Structure 1
Amino acid sequence: MTTTSLPLSDRGDTMAPEHALVSTRGLTVRYGSRTALDGLDLDVPAGQIVGLLGENGCGKSTLLKTLAGLYADYSGEIRIGGHAPGPESKAIVSYLPDRSSLPDHVRVRYCLELFADVFADFDLDKARRLVAGFGLDESMRLKQMSKGMREKVQVSLTMARRARVFLLDEPISGVDPAAREGILAGVLDNLEPGSSLLVATHLVHDLETTLDSVVMMRHGRVLLTGEVDDLRAEHGSSLDQIFRKVYRS
């Protein structure tokens, strides 16, 4: 199947790549003999919600980790807010990993205080409102929580930063539909104005109405990218149907 590639910055008022909030050129990451990202080019303007879509192992998590500055062994170029990955970029990026690194035995209150100590832009009051809005108690220990409840804690911590770029890796994977709805609402309602959100997921249907653009990946490369409305008009299908067609080819 032949796909059409549309730069994420191709909107009605075309935005030059140099104005992109997140930009990569020829981004390549290898784990030994395996290539996780293969010459990836990407431009994300400020204010966009971008879905990173693809099968397990396609490079979504590697891309987010590299943008977050957690994986430095790459070739090519990355710019986030005009900065290469480092202290300046990390100061404006809030990253939610696909697996929690928080110890099981700690209480929610400890997590909030830890993030307040580590991140200068962390809004403790906002985090507490998020936790309460999710129906969670700050005195609860993480080991007492379901997967969905723990994910809500992680989302509260991530979205309480006054960041310019939010990177979320499978935030609704493995949780029940009711929890997914609550988590998505928590994310969308707490995005900083003018910030960009890149969210890796394979649950296309749940996110379709919230996405501005998508990047469909396979084997570390972009299969299809573009504005969601443009892709739906071009293919005469929903985003979920387009996704299924692309990955059947």
Structure 2
Amino acid sequence: MSSEENPYMIELKDIHKKYLLKQAISGIDLQIKKGTIVGLLGPNGSGKSTLLKMMAGLIYPTSGTILVGGRKPDVHNKQHVAYLPEIDNLYGWMTVRETLKFISGFYKDWQAERAAEMLVKMELDENQKVRNLSKGMRARLKLIAALSRNVPLILLDEPFSGIDPSSRAKIIRSIISEFQSDEQTILLSTHSVNESEPMFDDVIFLQNGQVKIFDSTENLRETYGCSLENIWEKVYG
């Protein structure tokens, strides 16, 4: 089957990942469809960040096969994937404008017009120093950097971590408005289930490095008769 006919952006077969004595991922099989926004949910230590890093080509599985867009992720994966890590890797001495210009230099697919539009939507002052931004404002800037790229896959690791409700709302609205379902797939890990639920097409619940549940948001609501947040409590409570 050619990549044009393949409906899946991400394919994982029997993925295991071990760090010294810790088994982070244990036998995961997944197929994530193109053109969807997928929530990756689970408590700390469930394997979310490890899974995203493997998809981004930053680390490799101990065993098993990963295909992203029909190819194995590697060090050249940044041409096909935008990855937003949970850690803050911005330079405090740069202004917002300088930060985006600096990041744009690494990617041929950078869309300057989209970045400028999102600056306005996110209410960021391009002349402000990054060191003077609140945590929520820095989170908005990191998201602009990820969403300003024209790539088929966007991986967002805890983009709402520790930020205020106002920033969370703006970020979620921006993800939804910028999402190009005919061209992109987004995989997003988060603990902010309640606010994020409206944008998820499908949801993966991870537990101890294994897939506990993987289904469409619609099917899960019908099956459990409640919201994703309540399902979280039933799965991990």
TM-score (norm 1): 0.89
Change in Cα spacing, 1:24 to 1:203, as seen in structure 2 (3 Å) is: same
Q: Specify the alignment match of 1:208 in structure 2.
A: 197
Change in Cα spacing, 1:128 to 1:74, as seen in structure 2 (3 Å) is: farther
Specify the SS of the correspondent of 1:118: coil
List runs of 5+ in structure 1 lacking aligned partners: 1-16
Q: Specify the alignment match of 1:81 in structure 2.
A: 69
1:26 partnered with 2:32: no
Identity %: 34
For 1:225 and 1:170, how far apart are their aligned partners in 2? 19
Q: How does 1:60-75 map to 2 (within 5 A)?
A: 60-72=48-60, 74-75=62-63
Q: Give the C-alpha shift of residue 18 in structure 1.
A: 5.0
- Note the alpha carbon deviations across 1:190-248, whole angstroms, 9 max, x for none: 12342111100111111111111110011110111101111111112221111110112
Stretches of 4+ aligned residues off by more than 6 angstroms = none
Find the partner of 1:224 among 205, 213, 222. Answer: 213
For 2:116 and 2:234, how far apart are their aligned partners in 1? 42
Alignment check: 8 A CA contact 1:37 1:59 kept? yes
Change in Cα spacing, 1:149 to 1:74, as seen in structure 2 (3 Å) is: same
Find the partner of 1:59 among 47, 51, 56. Answer: 47
Specify the SS of the correspondent of 1:166: strand
Find the partner of 1:95 among 76, 83, 94. Answer: 83
TM-score (norm 2): 0.93
Count, aligned residues: 232
Specify the SS of the correspondent of 1:226: strand
Alignment check: 8 A CA contact 1:136 1:149 kept? yes
List runs of 5+ in structure 2 lacking aligned partners: none
For 1:157 and 1:74, how far apart are their aligned partners in 2? 30
Find the partner of 1:238 among 199, 220, 227. Answer: 227
1:125 partnered with 2:113: yes
- Note the alpha carbon deviations across 1:114-148, whole angstroms, 9 max, x for none: 22210110111211221122111212111100000
1:163 partnered with 2:163: no
Change in Cα spacing, 1:27 to 1:18, as seen in structure 2 (3 Å) is: farther
Find the partner of 1:177 among 165, 175, 180. Answer: 165
Alignment check: 8 A CA contact 1:50 1:198 kept? yes
Q: Give the C-alpha shift of residue 25 in structure 1.
A: 0.7
Alignment check: 8 A CA contact 2:14 2:64 kept? yes
Specify the SS of the correspondent of 2:105: helix
